[in-house]
Structure formats: C-alpha cells, structure tokens
Amino acid sequence: MNMYDATATARLLPYAALVEALEAAMADYRDGAILCPERQVMQAPSGAGVLLSMPCAGPDLLCHKLVTVYSGNPAQGLPAIHGQVTCGDARTGRLLFTLDGPVTTGRRTAAVTLVGIRRLLPHAPRRILVIGTGAQADAHVQALADTWPQAAVFVQGRSVARERAVAGRTGLPVGLVSAGDDPGDVDVVILVTTSHVPLYDLPPRPGRLIVGVGAFRPDMVEIGATTIGGSVLYVDDPVGAPVEAGDYIQAGVAWGQVHPLVEAVDGPPPPADRPVVFKSVGCAAWDLAACRVALRQMGQA
C-alpha cells in the first residue's frame, strides 16, 4: 500500500478535478450510493485533544479518515491536526493507499467552497474576501487563485502580521483588509475561523455570497443572525448540519427552509436578486471524492 506525504497528496488533488468529483459525489450521497455514517469523536484521556473517525463507502471505494485535533499543539511548535485518509477497493477490501489527512481535508474543503461559488453566484467572482488566517485560509486562497486567477482576493485577520503570513505561505498576491472594516465591493465573503462570536453580520446583500466554513460545532459561530435571517440558505451536508452548523443553529433557522447544495448542482440556481448564505460542515463523502481524484491521478482508474 502506497503512502503519500503532504506534498505528494497536494499534487494528487488538483482543484479542478476535485470540483468535478465533489459534484458527482454530492449526487451519489443524496441518492444513497455513498454511505456516510456520523463521525465518531472521542476525547483523549488527557483532555488535551480529540480523536475523530470518519468512515465512508461507495460502490467503488472504501474510505476512512482518522485525525487527531490538539488545539494546544501550535504553542509547542506542533501542528494542531494530524491524520491520514486510507482508501480501499470496495469490491475486494484491499487497501490501496493513504493520503495526508490535513492536506486532504484542506483541499477538499476549499473545493466544496468552489462548488458553492460556482453554483450559487450568478457570475464568476471578481473580488473575494477571506476572513481567517489559518490553514483553511491558505487552502482557500490557493483554490481561488487556481480557479479564478482574474479575481482579486483579500484576507482579513486579527492582525496585519497574520494577514501577511497567508500571502507569505501561499506565495500569492493578496490584498489586506483590517479587522472590523466593511469589506466594500466584494461579491464573495468566505469565513474560515474558529470564532465563537459573529464576525460577519451585515444586512443581506443580493449579489454577495457568504460562505461559512470554520464554525463546525454548535457553540461556534462566524455569521450572525442578521445576515442569515434574510438570506436563502444552503448547506453541503443536510444530515450533519443540524448538529454541527453553529451559525445556523444559533440563528434558530427552520431546517425545512435550508437547501442542500446538490439542488443547485442538479437544478436551477437561487434567484439572482436574493442574497445567499452557504454553510459548509463537511463529511466523509467528500474525502471519498478526494480519493477518487487521487486514484485517477495515479493512472489506476
């Protein structure tokens, strides 16, 4: 079984191919062709971190992501997240390869955002604001530059140093927006933080797509009720969102009014004159889509 490190994993997961594979996987997941049970979360005995287990099965591949999240690690010079994605043949059970877990998560999550922009914004984005300066900000800036190189990308963080660090790590030209400033004339705002208070709560604005990525627990929130209350609402995973999408949970949304993103993939987009919020929570089915891409890149499909 081949094992691919972070650099090799990134090469195996180009964003254009991920977008196409994710759109297909969203339809498979909706139709029951991909089985994706709820993730299992176990607290480490020390209390310092958690272990997450996320299995998934399709007609072609088996997939299992195992990651640890230790929020105190960066203070010790260690990554907060470690893990791997193991892929097997669904017909024989033979294990085929492993991918780097953090890189797979970062790239497939950013690619889900690309699907959301592609399907929910009525035109190609021109000016995009990324709020957050961590690993997901890096992945999103790279994904946006690869997909829409003509678009201007801006980063907003808690300090200018953090904002500049994103530009330094990605090697891409990004504009900087001071924290708390109105983002101005942007058509996409992407939030990739671990905030527990709303960072964006402006009145809904038609033609501006708001994408929430970072709040993945009920006690976390990035997008406020003012924005959510007047917008058409979408999620990537309608099964996981009611227990994970902190933005929507804290805003008290009526889940019957929340649309799965696959509706816009298969059918008509939302009305162009309505403001839209897209909440991404992720699920193992998106990791399986990444494994499909990696296998094709290896020339074995």
Per-residue pLDDT, averaged over 132-137, amounts to: 91
CATH number (domain holding residue 40): 3.30.1780.10
Starting at the earlier edge strand, list the strands of the sheet with 81-89. Answer: 2-3, 95-100, 81-89, 61-69, 50-57, 40-43
Closest listed residue to residue 57, CA positions, set 15, 27, 25, 13: 25
| Residues 116 and 139 both lie in one domain | yes
Per-residue pLDDT, averaged over 146-163, amounts to: 91
Q: What span, in angstroms and rounded, lies between the C-alpha atoms of 191 and 211?
A: 6
Q: Are 294 and 99 in contact (CB under 8 A)?
A: yes
pLDDT tens for 112-132 read 999 999 999 999 999 999 999
Which pLDDT score is estimated for 183?
67
pLDDT tens for 230-278 read 999 999 999 999 999 999 999 999 999 999 999 999 999 999 899 999 9
Can you give the pTM of this predicted structure?
A: 0.94
For the chain, what is the domain count? 2
176 pLDDT above the threshold of 90 = no
Which pLDDT score is estimated for 38?
86
Which pLDDT score is estimated for 280?
97
Which pLDDT score is estimated for 47?
85
* Residue-wise burial string across 252-282, b where 16 or more C-beta atoms lie within 10 A, e elsewhere: ebeeeebbbbbbbbeeeebeeeebbbbbbbb
Which pLDDT score is estimated for 256?
94
- Which residue has 């591949």 as its token pair? 61
DSSP 51-102: EEEEEEE-SSEEEEEEEEE-TTGGGGTS-SEEEEEEEEETTT--EEEEEEHH
Q: What span, in angstroms and rounded, lies between the C-alpha atoms of 156 and 134?
A: 11
179 pLDDT above the threshold of 60 = yes
Phi/psi-derived region of residue 252, left when phi > 0, alpha when psi is between -120 and 50, beta in every other case: left
Q: Are 193 and 131 in contact (CB under 8 A)?
A: yes
27 contacts: CB under 8 Å, gap ≥ 6: 262, 265, 266
| Residues 100 and 197 both lie in one domain | no
* Type of residue at 222: E
What average pLDDT is seen over the chain?
A: 93
Closest listed residue to residue 172, CA positions, set 143, 193, 192, 209: 143
| Residues 240 and 293 both lie in one domain | no
| Residues 148 and 247 both lie in one domain | yes
Per the DSSP assignment, residues forming a β-bridge with 201 are: none
- Backbone CA torsion sign across 222, 226, 229, 232: negative
210 contacts: CB under 8 Å, gap ≥ 6: 188, 189, 191, 200, 223, 227, 231, 275, 276, 277, 278
Which pLDDT score is estimated for 301?
46
pLDDT tens for 43-71 read 998 888 999 999 999 999 999 999 998 88
Quickly count: other Cβ atoms within 10 Å of residue 52's Cβ.
17
Q: Are 211 and 116 in contact (CB under 8 A)?
A: yes
300 pLDDT above the threshold of 90 = no
| Residues 195 and 214 both lie in one domain | yes
39 pLDDT above the threshold of 70 = yes
- Domain extent, residue 30, equals 2-104+285-297
| Residues 215 and 146 both lie in one domain | yes
- Which residue has 């987009």 as its token pair? 269
For residues 12 and 161, the model is more confident at 12
Confidence of residue 180 (pLDDT cuts 50, 70, 90): low
| Residues 53 and 130 both lie in one domain | no
Per-residue pLDDT, averaged over 153-168, amounts to: 88
Which pLDDT score is estimated for 121?
96
Which pLDDT score is estimated for 175?
87
| Residues 176 and 234 both lie in one domain | yes
Q: What span, in angstroms and rounded, lies between the C-alpha atoms of 3 and 124?
A: 37
| Residues 85 and 118 both lie in one domain | no
Percent of the chain residues topping a pLDDT of 70: 98
